Amino acid sequence: MCGIVGYIGPKEAYPILVKGLKRLEYRGYDSAGVALLNGNGIEIFKKQGKVIKMEGIMPSETPKATLGIGHTRWATHGIPSDENSHPHYSQSKNIAIIHNGIIENYASIKERLQGRGFTFKSDTDTEVLVNLIEDILLSEKVALAEAVRIALNQVVGAYAIAVIEEGNHDQIVVAKKGSPLVIGIGEGEYYIASDATPFIEYTKQAVYLEEEELAILSLSNGMELKSITNEIKTPYVQELEIELESIEKGGYDHFMLKEINEQPKSIFDTLRGRLLVNEGTIQLGGFNEFKNKFLSADRIIIVACGTSWHAGLVAEYLIEDLARIPVEVEYASEFRYRNPIITERDIVIAVSQSGETADTLSAIKLAKEKGATIFGVCNVVGSSIAREAHAGAYTHAGPEIGVASTKAFTAQVTIFTLIALTLARKKGTITESKFRQLINELDGMPDKVAETLKVDAQAKYIASVYKDVANCLFLGRGINFPVALEGALKLKEISYIHAEGYPAAEMKHGPIALIDEEMPTVVVATKTEHYEKVVSNIQEIKAREGKIIAVVTQGDTVISKIADHVIEVPYVDERLSPLVTSIPLQLISYHIAVMRGCNIDQPRNLAKSVTVE
Ligand code: F6R
């Protein structure tokens, strides 16, 4: 949902901005632009399309500047176009701004400014904000930072902004509410970005802005941090742990493929230091602090979106089955708008890879107001949801850059397995021998996932057979029903093939009408409690000439005789099975999308971090 980047210091700004924008393209790729400040004033270069398109319009000699800001857009107000691209000038061209977020009351402010003689070149809410700043600067005769602060007190909505001013070579003003903004502190220089990836090779010292904070980054005076209500704050500088290699493709054609293949390691990293097999225990720091709340909770409500919501559904099966605590899983966007009944005895778990999803963040703010205990399961350290939660557990999957989520899903499922087992043991709803068996199996999951990844060639072959279909059905039962939903989401988002996930038994209540010889159905049919029933569901499809791609347990001799294709995965306890059954579905989607010539890491219309509601 838009990426922002900025630099002030002794170095050439443009190469830093461009490299940073490319790393932030996962946040949107409708347009890209930079504003550079030098002796000629503020020069803006911007273009609809990806960063590479913007590079194409740059003069052969890029203007020299040591201060600049850049933006990659995911369109909200106004179509993707050159005019609507950021940065935006103020009317006098003395101020330039980049913005991630939405100014909800932009229309009334625009009208007011138009009445005061301002004209607008774009349809964006951002151009309204920069002119509001200019209007205040001129009418109140205050400095830039103060004008920004006053303006932000007048806007409703979300923003991460960076503002620069003609002739002011010493300063960038930044502020944040609802959208992320991190400041990198180098030697006599500052970086700003939506996440730390644009500056990770330059500095590991970072300050994450909190809600409604404003910072003045000045080469002569250092960093000044305050709230938009003018309360002076002390910056909390933290040491980042991300390594450069983790945000590069490392020889893979796409980030998605790299991230699929990283799953043995990401699951291992999620378990590391938490699953202590030799001692027969699980240590989940953030969880221990609130374990009594969990144990006495009336229910657990899980809120999330997209893939994270699917991981939440897996969690429902795990926690209810093992720990016997009622769980409700809600789309964050629906939860907050239906006046939900939440009490102090509820635990609300927010699941989010990015930790920035606006709907999930708003849902937990609402639940917090009503007294619930908020637990975050996030991947991005220091993200807004992680900071808003009372406690939480990071998934430690490493940066996920491909827009389609893969390793974050399996890491989230891994965390939930740890939570469910911990709760079950504390509540006495699991026998000691079952607990030991499951933690031993969980410990072996990185190896089982590595073994599962060997189905890649088979997945590629299946992809070649079905790459041109118009529709595809995904079925699963029990804990593998969410895996079917996730399989369908992966296929539709990266290959643009219409796909639906269904509980296998629900098929006969409607979707079976879709089945004919053109329609492939991917069925998760591993050896579980529901195995026989799933075999019957497969028979029902075959009786209607549908094509079956079945994910089965190694050595299955029954389904291989009925299905058109089988992909074998290693046997694991049913409760852990999503960690292996999701892998072939990721691979099939990936290969189909490659064969259809789709943009794997940046599918059309999507962005990775959805910071608008
Ligand atoms: C699907 C996908 C999205 C996200 C969703 C939530 O591959 O990536 O559906 O899962 O936007 O994002 P997070 O987990 O960052 O809250």
CATH number at residue 374: 3.40.50.10490
The enclosing domain of 89 has a CATH number of: 3.60.20.10
- Quick one: which H or E segment has residue 492? helix 481-495
The span from the CA of 100 to the CA of 298, in Å, is 38
Q: How far apart are CA 126 and CA 135, in angstroms?
A: 14
**Number of Cβ atoms within 10 Å of the Cβ of 238:** 15
Is ligand 1 within 6 A of the CB of residue 5?
no
pTM listed for this prediction: 0.84
Whole-number Å distance, alpha carbon 255 to ligand 1 midpoint, is: 15
Is 193 in the same domain as 266? no
Is the CB–ligand 1 distance for residue 452 below 6 Å? no
Q: Is the CB of 589 under 6 A from ligand 1?
A: no
Show Cβ contacts of residue 187 under 8 Å, excluding neighbours closer than 6 positions.
none
Residue 537 CA to residue 531 CA, distance in Å, equals 10
Q: Are 265 and 275 in contact (CB under 8 A)?
A: no
Classified as helix, coil or strand, 288 is helix
Which segments of 252-383 does DSSP mark as H helices, in order?
A: 255-261, 263-271, 285-289, 291-296, 306-318, 332-335, 358-369
Could you tell me if 118 and 69 lie in one domain? yes
Q: Does 412 contact ligand 1 (Cβ within 6 A)?
A: no
Residue 360 Cβ inside 6 Å of ligand 1? The answer reads yes
Task: From the CA of 354, give the closest atom in ligand 1.
Answer: 15
Quick check: 510 and 542 in contact, CB under 8 A? no
What is the 3-class SS of 150-169, one letter each residue? HHHCCCCECEEEEEEECCCC
CB burial of 223-237 (b: ≥16 within 10 Å; e: otherwise) equals: ebbbebeeeeeebee
Domain containing 355 equals 249-443
Query: 358: CA distance to ligand 1 center in Å?
Result: 11
610, 611, 612, 613: residue to mutate for ligand 1 pocket, most atoms within 8 A of CB:
610
Rounded Cα distance between 182 and 198, Å, is 10
Q: Do the domain assignments include residue 278?
A: yes
Q: How close is the Cα of 590 to the center of ligand 1, in Å?
A: 17
Contact of 206 with 380, CB cutoff 8 Å: no
Please give the distance, rounded to the nearest whole angstrom, from the Cα atom of residue 296 to the centre of ligand 1. Answer: 30
Q: Answer yes or no: do 267 and 236 share one domain.
A: no
Q: Is 264 in the pocket of ligand 1 (CB under 6 A)?
A: no
Pairing of strands 3-8, 222-227: unpaired
Atom of ligand 1 lying closest to residue 310 CA: 10
Q: Where are the extended beta strands (E) located within 132-218?
A: 159-165, 171-177, 182-186, 189-193, 205-208, 213-218
The predicted pLDDT at position 588 comes to 98
Tell me the pairing of strands 171-177 and 213-218: antiparallel
Answer whether residue 472 is part of any domain: yes
Tokens, residue 468: 């041109």
Residues 201 and 288 in one domain: no
How far is ligand 1, taken at its centre, from the CA of residue 604, in Å?
15
Best residue among 256, 307, 490 to mutate for probing ligand 1, ranked by most atoms within 8 Å of CB: 307
The predicted pLDDT at position 364 comes to 95
Q: Are residues 386 and 459 in the same domain?
A: no
C-alpha dihedral over 318, 324, 326, 331, to 10 degrees?
-10
Q: Has 426 been annotated as catalytic? A: no
Question: How many CB atoms within 10 Å of residue 570?
Answer: 19
Same domain flag for 466 and 597:
yes
Strands 373-378 and 346-352: parallel
237 shares its domain with 321: no
With CA atoms as reference, report the closest residue to 147 among 160, 133, 161, 135. Answer: 133
Domain closes at, from 422, 443, 464: 443
Residues of the chain with pLDDT under 50: none
Residue 190 lies inside a defined structural domain of this protein = yes
Is 2 a catalytic site residue?
A: yes
Task: Take atom 4 of ligand 1 and give the residue whose Cα is closest.
Answer: 306
The CB density around residue 57, as the number of other CB atoms within 10 Å, is 11
Give whole-number Cα distances, 277 to 283, 422, 440, 445, in Å.
11, 13, 6, 13
One domain, residues 497 and 587: yes
End residue of a domain, out of 222, 244, 266: 244
CB 215 within 8 A of CB 223: yes
> Which residue lies with its CA nearest to atom 11 of ligand 1?
306
| 236 & 274 share domain | no
Residue 424 lies in a domain: yes
Closest among 511, 504, 508, 497 to 532, alpha carbons compared = 504
Looking at the domain assignment, is residue 373 inside a domain? yes
Q: Which residues have a Cβ under 8 Å from the Cβ of 185 and sit 6 or more positions away?
A: 191, 203, 205, 206, 207, 223, 237
Which atom belonging to ligand 1 lies closest to the Cα atom of 404?
7
Query: Of 218, 244, 270, at which residue does a domain stop?
Result: 244
* Residue 448 is assigned to a structural domain of this protein: no
> Using CA atoms, how far apart are residues 142 and 151, in angstroms rounded to an integer?
12
Distance CA 443, CA 572 (A): 12
Catalytic residue among 2, 305, 378, 472: 2
517-526, pLDDT tens digit by residue?
A: 989 999 999 9
Same domain, residue pair 234 and 287: no
Cα Rg, the chain, nearest whole Å: 25
409 C-alpha to ligand 1 centroid (Å)? 9
Q: Determine if ligand 1 sits within 6 Å of the CB of residue 493.
A: yes
Q: Based on the structure, what is the number of domains in the chain? A: 3
Same domain, 286 and 210: no
Judge whether 17 and 594 are in contact, CB under 8 Å.
Answer: no
Q: Report which of 417, 435, 441, 394 is spatially closest to residue 315, judged by C-alpha positions.
A: 417
CB-ligand 1 contact for 306 (6 Å cutoff): yes
Q: What's the confidence (pLDDT) of residue 78?
A: 82
Q: Does residue 379 have its Cβ closer than 6 Å to ligand 1?
A: no
Tell me the one-letter amino acid at 154.
Q
Nearest CA to ligand 1 atom 16: 352
Query: Mutual orientation of helices 578-595 and 407-427 as an angle, nearest 10°?
Result: 170
- The answer to whether 419 and 390 have CB atoms below 8 angstroms apart is no
- Cβ 357 under 6 angstroms from ligand 1: yes
Amino acid at 207: V
Element (H, E) at 426: helix 407-427
> Are both 359 and 463 inside the same structural domain?
no
188, part of any domain: yes
